[in-house]
Chain A
Amino acid sequence: MIFKVFTFLFVFISFSAQALEEISDESLANVSGQSGVSLSGELNLNENGGPLTSADIGNTGVWGTCVEKQAASAERCGARIAVQPNENGGWIALDEMKGKISFEGLTLKSRTIDGVLDDFGGDENEVGIDGMTVLEIGLPDKVTFEKFQYSVVTSSQGRPTDTGYQQQIRHGVNFNGSVNMQGNMLVFPTGNP
């Protein structure tokens, strides 16, 4: 199961080529009634905080729930991804990530490119494209962000609880509102595997 999840993620994020496509009525009719899947729902990150709690060893005053953060008894309640680019160097991190994204009508299916019916800027006429199987990710009609936020920080250590930890906040982002989307993203292999 974990392999399958990895593979899904892998295919989605590591594709070697992608294109945004206007899908024609003919194409829509062509795929009507086929399988595939339409997803609607919500993604929620650290709604109330994460699994690192103020009761954990060494966490007092650093990690806690978002209620504790609001009460200033904890510094942070969001998720954190830190990357160390250089050996023995500092870290750059997306810090205090939290919030909600909801969407409707994200579709996933595999299908074959039709050089006659499909239209994505002429690329469909390139050699080898017609008849190629692609993973088609149909972008959701509407994506709503609600208190989706993070900060970009640089820090001296990987963990905020490490001795001597210091950080600089480079900037913060807070998304609220809706984004309307159209079209599809096609994922397909190119080049030498």
Chain B
Amino acid sequence: MKSLLIILLSLSVSLANAELVGMDETFLESVSGQTGLTVEMHKLIKVEDIRYSDKDGTSGEILDFKDIAIGHPSDINNKQAVSVHTVDIDGNDGLVIVSDFQATRLQIGSMSVGNHRGSVADNFATRQSFGQIQYDWTGTNTLSINGKTAGESGFIISSDTSITDSDFRWTTNGNTLQVNDIIYNSSLTNMTIDIEDNGVKAYLALRMPTMSYDYNVGSVCFSDVDCVAANSLGNFAQSRTYKNSSIFVYGGGREGTGITMDMHFEFDDSVNASGDGNVSSYTDDATVKIAKQSGVVDVVGFTFDIGTAETNLGDHIAMQWDSVTGNFKTDLVEIAGNKVGAFEVRFDFSDGTHNSVDYKNQLKLAPGIAFAGNDFSSDANLAAAGFDSFMTNFYAKVSSVSDGISLYNQWNMTADYFYTDDTNTLMADNFYAYGEGYSTLDIRDGSLSIDNTNDANDDFLAIGIRNYKVNYGLDGLRVGDETSSLQNGHEMIGLYSDASFTLNGAIEVRGGGASGSGINIDADMLITDGNFTVTKSGGVGIHLDAVTYEFHMRDMTMDVDNDGIKLVLGELWSEFAANDIRFGDRTTGKSLGGIAMTQYQKGSEIIISGGGANVNRCMGANGADATACSANGGTWIDTIGTDGEGLTIKNKRILLQENIVEGKANSVTYEVNRTAGVAGTGQAIKLNNMYTADGYDDSTNTFGVENTVTVDVASAGTTGAAELFMTHNVKFKELNIDSVQLLHGPSSTSSNMLQGIKMQNVDFTSQLSVSPIP
């Protein structure tokens, strides 16, 4: 899709250039007597305003682009950009235009929609823009335009584009996202363009039997000047080949005038036979690679309109999909050279109804920052959690005329996920997700950070999340194939059986990791109205109901190095409360009482790496191989297979002693016998002030609690049947519970049941085969 858009842009730029050229006599003399025509263009172009309108009297609005300029990157206002075009008519290839673009800059000063566009009357002082776009490039393009065979209408177009050096910049309010050193190549062969009629309406039909692209992004950062390693998010690359793809474009949108498209894209998996084939990768100090991609996607009823009067966005660009169906498969996922295995998802994004609410797949984009300057103290959910001040502070740093992007997203989807470890497959069956919510994006000056310890020179991407209502769940797992018995076990790898919650939050993303390039994140997040199914089977389950979870992260870095994907948490503190642990129905089942937990950590880390337990062993007996193991009554487990694939997650948590001044601590509280189920009115037992230490005093705390989890879909027994196999290892030098308290809510008194618990030198390992109940 992305490649196609760029190809179309290349085509349109090439064609536009060919039409606009003016030739003086000296130039004409220089080309006389040659075959074809060579045109050298010197461009210094300024366009004040370009408008797209789908207003038709009952719906629609205007999308406008202001202050458009094309020129040389070194001085777009005064220096011409040069391109050379050779035009030839070839007996086989038709009209052939070979273009050589020297350094060129395209700049769009402002983009806005409908009632955000401001007015001439106030010199556009109230205009809200998506921001400023700037694209510099150097490259070549060969474009062939041919007719079809005699008697057939339409065109056949081929295009080869090579952009050898380009930079992209998105700027809001004077702060810039840089995408540097983009290298891009694409090839489109024998694309046909026709006007067809399906009996209902005529449409433009683009059919692409073969197309491919590859790109490499050198670095991405938030800076006014080019990126350096210390502030880069890393390197991104992708290479894909498609076959038998098509786009049909219809007039008319979701409402009145607009654009409707049906699309079909199909990976050409023949390129996967050698090397990485269709591949996407992210590289920091090491590489995460998603290779040998295949699949197909059908998009039906994609519409593009300019919508009006959305409650929080006002006028906006409206995109909606009737359905997006297909599958995506990657036969090779590697983290830092270690194989994880193969993944596939078969998905269906279509409209659906849940609890009498219709959910569609739609995206609305508006310029500016919705919620800018809002006071969130009137939001009862946020205020009850004491979180309103975080949201108010985040949106106080922008105003009603700030540039940025505001989004509303609604979705409904179902999917089956498949993970194959060597030749053994695990299926997550009947996954569903639906929801809706708002978010905002803008680039901010470093001085506006929510964390005043950050460097004021480090600009960042500010992401606001507002009332994102999320629902998801799955039936369970099937190990082996789609006909295998349904089983649980997903709970042990972090997947809730069902979940629903509302998310609000503020996130800051910076470039630069713990070492060199990488990603740095600060975040304040709040989950309210949460309901999480811990486990379910046979239609009934155990659920955490009325959940509130507030968490804060400071200076979390993400890097990829030879250990894997490494997340290092600077400081983390959180408060989690489930008002009821329910048995039976999610919201009305009988309650076990309430549970609350707080966390306070610094320097904790998570490492995700390829390769699993990497063991072959006899479970439940002794035996050197599957036959001997079986003869002795055991089950042989092989997690190594042919490639040693699998997944390992290492987790190190350094629990700090309580910080009374800041109200941060690690604790667990269980409360029952409440009045009308209200937290704080009953009797509770509390594990108070839990913290780790290195074993010889209370102040040295570097080891923490180490937890290593491996996940494999192993071969089991003499038949080699697939079986989920998980190992856990928990280690800590010392884990302390300062006191075990009994809290008496009605009288607000407490007493210590135990003065302290000290656990030392624990190295606990479990190796579990996880299978259906026979």
Q: CA–CA, A163 to B740, complex, Å? A: 25
> Min CB distance, A179 to chain B, in Å?
14
User: Which B residues are CB-close (under 8 A) to A59?
Assistant: 695-696
Total interface residues on B, CB under 8 Å, equals: 79
Residues on A with C-beta less than 8 A from B594 are 193
Contact A51 B696, beta carbon cutoff 8 Å: no
Residue of A nearest to B736 (CB): A158
Contacts of A159 in B (CB 8 A): 695-696, 734, 758, 760
Residues of A within 8 A of B578 (CB): 7
Contact present for B760 and A79 (CB under 8 Å): yes
Per the bound structure, the CA–CA distance linking A135 and B581 in Å amounts to: 12
- A8-B491, A188-B583 known; A82+B757 contact, CB < 8 A: yes
Contact status A50-B761, CB under 8 Å: yes
**Measured CA separation A159–B597 after assembly (Å):** 27
Q: In the complex, what's the smallest C-beta–C-beta distance from B623 to chain A, in angstroms?
A: 14
Contacting residue for A52 out of B599, B758, B760, CB 8 A? B760
The answer to the question of A172 belonging to the interface, with a C-beta cut-off of 8 Å to chain B, is: no
**Residue from B535, B672, B732, B758 within 8 A of A51 (CB atoms):** B732
Q: Is A110 a contact of B541 with CB atoms below 8 Å?
A: yes
Query: Cβ of A35 and Cβ of B542 under 8 Å apart?
Result: no
- Chain A residues with CB under 8 Å of B700's CB are 57
Q: Do A33 and B485 touch across chains, with their CB atoms under 8 A apart?
A: yes
Q: Decide if B670 touches A41 in the complex (CB within 8 Å).
A: no
The answer to whether B758 touches A192, judged by C-beta atoms less than 8 angstroms apart, is no
A138 to B700, CA, bound (A): 43
Q: Which residues of B contact A51 (CB under 8 A)?
A: 703, 706, 731-733, 761-763
Interface string of B667-686 (1 = CB under 8 A from A): 01010111001000010000
**A123 to B770, alpha carbons, bound, how many Å?**
31
The A-contacting residues of B in range 733-774, CB under 8 angstroms, are 733-734, 752, 754-774
- Complex alpha-carbon distance, A74 and B772, angstroms: 45
- Is B386 an interface position by the 8 A CB rule? no
Q: Name the CB-closest residue of A to B673.
A: A192
Contact of A111 among B534, B537, B589, B752 (CB under 8 A): B537
Does B247 reach chain A (CB closer than 8 Å)?
Answer: no
> Is A147 close to B, CB under 8 A?
no
CB pair B592–A15 under 8 Å, yes or no, is: yes
B754 A85 Cβ-Cβ under 8 A: yes
Question: Chain B residues near A48 (CB, 8 Å)?
Answer: 763
Given contacts A10-B670, A50-B761, 19 further A-B contacts (CB under 8 A): A7-B534, A16-B592, A35-B475, A35-B488, A36-B773, A37-B770, A37-B772, A45-B763, A52-B733, A52-B760, A56-B733, A78-B761, A84-B758, A87-B752, A88-B755, A111-B540, A158-B756, A159-B696, A193-B674
List residues of A whose CB falls within 8 A of some B CB: 1-4, 6-8, 10-11, 14-16, 31, 33-52, 56-59, 63, 76-89, 91, 102, 104, 107-112, 132-135, 138, 158-161, 188-189, 191-193
> Which 10 A/B pairs are nearest by Cβ-Cβ distance?
A50-B761, A133-B584, A193-B591, A41-B768, A37-B488, A34-B538, A189-B592, A35-B537, A109-B537, A36-B537
